[in-house]
Each structure stands twice: as structure tokens, then as C-alpha cells.
Structure 1
């Protein structure tokens, strides 16, 4: 009875396949579907209407509560709409809209006063104005500003950056070795340090981790150069979904330097002391140096983390005593290694 006297009201409707919106006047859902299907050439059987904003299906009862000019999506049978976020995903996933998004974001950013929205727009622009497909110094001169002339490609620079980070992990071991008072023990520590350094050199200081041109199994980035934060030492993944592509721009390259390769089992507090303790009464040849190498220099124990996810508190994780000595010598070393 209510529908007989209801006045037609204006709505904006579009299909799932087309972003173009059309004005439609209807007094109920039945009329809206009839007009919408004819206008958008959608088969009437199974057709239904949802709110563009959040995907809520429009029933007759809900229709009466909608304000004029509500944006709607007309769906075919078995089609679904998850809300405006679907449009965002569609836009970001297609290069054809990139320039339009850049211009729109710049325009909005110019007058935007909300700090949160400014941050969102800035991050959007930062990621859209991407030159990661360019690799050489000749192609992207701006990226190489401040980078030594010997580096001709982005991959070469980031590989070297990774090598320097991992090479620096030897410093704590060298300092601990110098502090050893007993000559014989210090000699064993020096020998262990040399062996680890040789292993590291053979693996080219694991610079492949940051090199997008390396094999997929060796690098920790995508072939395009994207790195994802692996979360703090005590978490399985990053709750903030931090990601960065240092290959995309000079700013990203500089920002990436604040990301850390964090030791889950700590280098200075745990790994080095455990090795030093093991060498107090045993020769370096009896020590499972491969185990210590993996803890110090590989992704078996390293996690790439955004500075926000880098917790500097004590990790309270220990080396595994059963792995400290070589398997064939373990039976001769029943003495427990105490970790400080």
C-alpha cells in the first residue's frame, strides 16, 4: 500500500564493469532494478543492488531509509561488491590510472588540512611516482645523487649496501677476541673468527639479499625491488604491513637505510658470548662454526624490520647447546655452555 503512494526519488547507479554513474529515479527497489537493468544492459534475472560505499544489499525496507542521490551498484546474478575499497584496489592495480591518481592526489594534498589524510595522500604519491623499472645511473640520475660513481646500477649499490651491513657483524666478534686474556684461548678465537670470515667471503657477504637481480631463493625482495617488513623478533609477521621499494626513488633509497637486519637471537648479548664460552675449553675445530655462521650472517636468524618494529629490548632467546659443537665431537663435550 505504501509503494502505491511513494514518490520517486533520485539515485546514482553504476554497474560493476563500468565506473560511469547514471541518474535514476525510482519509488522502490523493483522499479530501480527495472530501470537500472534496462539502462546498464544487465540481465534482470538475479540482478540486485548494493550500496557503493560498503556493499550493503538494498532491500525494500532498507530502500525507504536511503537519502536522495545515494550511490548504488547494480550487480548481475552471483556478482558481489565489497564497497569503495574495491575501487581503490582496482585503481592501484592498474597502471592506466596512475597519472590520473597522481594529479588528483596532488590537487587534494594542496588544500588538505587533516594530518592523517595528508599522510595517506603523501604515501600514495610516493608509491605512484615510481621509477623502480629504471636500473642504471644513466636512466635515473636523480636516484644516484650522493651515491659513489663506481656504482652504475641500483642493484649493484643495494647489493654493496647489504654486504657492508653483514660484514660489520664481524666487529663484535673481533672485539670479543681482543678482550680474551689467555693466549691459547685467544688463538682459538682468532682461528674461529678467520674461519667465519672466510665462509662469509665465499658467500660474497650475502649481498644477494638486497639485490633484486639475484635468484628468487637468494633475495628477500621481489624482482621489482619491494621489501616487506618481517615484524619484530617476537612476532611472526609485521602487524603494520610496512613495505618499501628502495629502487623506486632517491627518497626511498635513503629511507631504506633506517630499516634493520635484526638478529632474533642477539649477536652481542648471546651469539658471540656463546661462541667465546665454547672456546674457553675447546678448540675451534671442535665448534660447529656453520651453526654460528648461520646465526650471525644469514636469514636463518636475521629479520628485515622497519625501524618501528625494531625492538631494542633484550630478546631472551638462546643458542641451542646441542648445535654448538660438531656432531662427531659432541659426545666429548658434556659440559653445558652457560649463556650470559
Structure 2
């Protein structure tokens, strides 16, 4: 079984240079490899470069000639080709060469999975999220109105536009209100909500990476993470995107949704209209409806795949629809008793 020398390619854990070595068994391979790479023989082992499988005496004869192997010292580990990918992506030194290589591979790649991996790799390698102004990154602003001079300003506007759209849907609901008195109160309510939005600058800070942490939904670099569908705590697919990184990512981000957990059209607006049937706008808890319609209290940022369009079947909290009376919970004052005058 042993005796015939098998040629293999061997390399170390940290270097990329490969050496040709011929050995009749693992023991001889380790001896030659450790001497070549100047590693201690005690505790050394050899594994497949591709997936990190340890090469044993029984496995060694089955290897194809010139199989690429990794020589490891006692404390070192190797989980496969992903180790090299991680090292490459953790430095900017090879970015240009990686882009060139990935572009070349993509043109010949037939596998749909391979094309997906290469496309995602190229998208992240061409990241320009560290640039902010139009002058620095003209390609990112391609198709964006000239009035926007920075990425953050445009992203803030992008969020404002979505929130304005929600406000317009509230206004449009006025047409469906039949009773004149209710319509008047609904218009007053809508006007008050609009003023609250203006004060908050339409919550555009959610997409603005330059804003303070409690106000934004992204990292200071511009990374957004999917928060999962309305009925989940987190996104199980770990979707993430940086629309500040490239024009393509900016456009793809437009497919992400600010989804209402308690639905706007099916639950919130109908509850608001219904609350005004026998009450005035001043009786309604506007802060509660404002939070449901326009804030992170009820909004979740979700990837299009995590956006479930079916009925959520979540209702407004009836205890919060109306303002709490100022005298609620207080004991009623005792009636004054007239004192009788003594004669």
C-alpha cells in the first residue's frame, strides 16, 4: 500500500506560496513539510486546503496527484478555502486584483450559484461607503437630483418621502368618511398629525447615517439590517445592505420596506375613524396613533423577501385610543356640608 511516492502541493496556514513535495506516507510528508516550512514536527498535522479535512495514513493514498494541502502546527486550525477568503476580504491590499479576477470568472461562470457568489463579492468589493459627497462619488449620484450634495442628505429625503406617503394615505381616507361631523373631526386629527410630523422632520433620520444612534436605523458606515417579518423577533436570513456603498445598493434598498406591524390600512386608520364616531378629535390619543403610523414603535425595516403582504391580524390597543382623563384614579371630592348656625 505504501512505498510509492505521491506528489502533492503543500503550503502553510499563513502564507500563500505552495511547494511541491513527494512522500510515501503522512509521516514522511510531515517530516519534509515541517523542515521546508520551518515548523516544529511535534503536534504537526496536514489537511485538505479545500475543506480542512485531516489527512490520515488511510486517506493519504487516495489523494489525487498534486492535491493542495495545508501544513498546520500544534496550535493552528484550518476550516478550508473560506480562511483564505476571510484573509483577503479583511484587507484592502488585494481589492483591485480581486475585482479583476472576480469579473473575469463571472464572464465564464455557468453555475447560477457561482454567479450569485461572484456578483455579491463584486458588489461588496466595489464599496465606496467611505465617500460622502457628490464630488467624491459621482457614480453613486447617477440619477439623483442635483440638489442633493451628500449621500446622507439624499437618504434622509428617501425616508421622508416614505413617511410622507403614509401621511397621504391618512389624508386620502377622508374621502371614505360619510358623516359630515366625523369628517370634520378627522380633518382636525389629520392636521394635528401632520404638524407632529413636521416637528419631527418626517423622521428622515431613520436613514441618515450622520444622525445620532437612537434616531437612525443604520450603523455610522451606513449598514442596514433586516429586522425580520412582522411576526418575528429577528431576520432569520440575516439580510443586510449598505445603500451608501454603491449606486446598485442604493437602488436595491428602495425594495426594502418600512412595514407596519399593526397594519395602516387594515387596522390603524379604521380604528382612528371609528374613534371619532362619537368623540371629538381632542379626545383621541394622537400620540398613540402617531407612533403607530410613523415611528419605530410600529415600523420594521424589512428585506422584500421578509415582507409578508397577507393580513397581519394585529389590532390597535383599545386602552390607548383615547386620552386618559386627567382625574382618572382620583377619589371624588366629598360634597361640602353646610354648617348650621346655632341659635
Q: Same fold (TM over 0.5)?
A: yes
Q: Aligned equivalents of 2:317 and 2:69: distance in 1? A: 60
Residues 192-249 of structure 1, C-alpha deviations (whole Å, 9 max, x = no match):
2222222221211111111111112221112222222223223333344333222222
Aligned counterpart in structure 1 of residue 303 of structure 2, from 282, 303, 306: 306
Aligned to 2:113: 116
Aligned counterpart in structure 1 of residue 143 of structure 2, from 141, 146, 156: 146
Any stretches of 5+ residues in structure 2 without a counterpart?
A: 330-343
Give SS of 1:219's match: coil
Q: Which one has the largest radius of gyration?
A: 2
Query: Number of paired residues?
Result: 329
Aligned counterpart in structure 2 of residue 43 of structure 1, from 40, 43, 46: 40
Give SS of 1:60's match: coil
Moved more, 59-68 or 159-168: 59-68
1:330, CA displacement in angstroms?
A: 11
Aligned to 2:123: 126
Give SS of 1:11's match: strand
TM-score, normalised to structure 2, is 0.89
Aligned to 2:22: 25
Q: Aligned equivalents of 1:200 and 1:262: distance in 2? A: 18
Q: Aligned equivalents of 2:87 and 2:140: distance in 1? A: 29
RMSD over aligned CA atoms reads: 2.1
Aligned counterpart in structure 1 of residue 186 of structure 2, from 181, 189, 206: 189
Any stretches of 5+ residues in structure 1 without a counterpart?
A: 333-340
Q: Aligned equivalents of 1:44 and 1:285: distance in 2? A: 82
Q: Aligned equivalents of 1:330 and 1:192: distance in 2? A: 24
1:161, CA displacement in angstroms?
A: 0.9
1:312, CA displacement in angstroms?
A: 1.5
Aligned to 1:217: 214
1:266, CA displacement in angstroms?
A: 0.8
Aligned to 2:134: 137
Q: Aligned equivalents of 1:148 and 1:193: distance in 2? A: 30
Residues 133-164 of structure 1, C-alpha deviations (whole Å, 9 max, x = no match):
22111112222222222111111011011011
| Distance 1:330-1:114 versus aligned 2 partners, 3 A rule | farther
Q: Aligned equivalents of 1:9 and 1:246: distance in 2? A: 51
Q: Aligned equivalents of 1:209 and 1:163: distance in 2? A: 9
1:329, CA displacement in angstroms?
A: 6.6
Contact 1:225–1:247 at 8 Å: present in 2 too? yes
Q: Aligned equivalents of 1:323 and 1:97: distance in 2? A: 57
Does residue 231 of the first structure (1) align with residue 218 of the second (2)?
Answer: no
1:120, CA displacement in angstroms?
A: 2.4
Aligned to 2:336: none
1:278, CA displacement in angstroms?
A: 1.8
1:87, CA displacement in angstroms?
A: 1.7
Aligned counterpart in structure 2 of residue 276 of structure 1, from 273, 276, 289: 273
Aligned to 2:5: 8
Aligned to 1:162: 159
1:63, CA displacement in angstroms?
A: 2.2
Q: Aligned equivalents of 2:311 and 2:328: distance in 1? A: 32
Q: Aligned equivalents of 2:20 and 2:327: distance in 1? A: 80
TM-score, normalised to structure 1, is 0.89
Contact 1:286–1:329 at 8 Å: present in 2 too? no
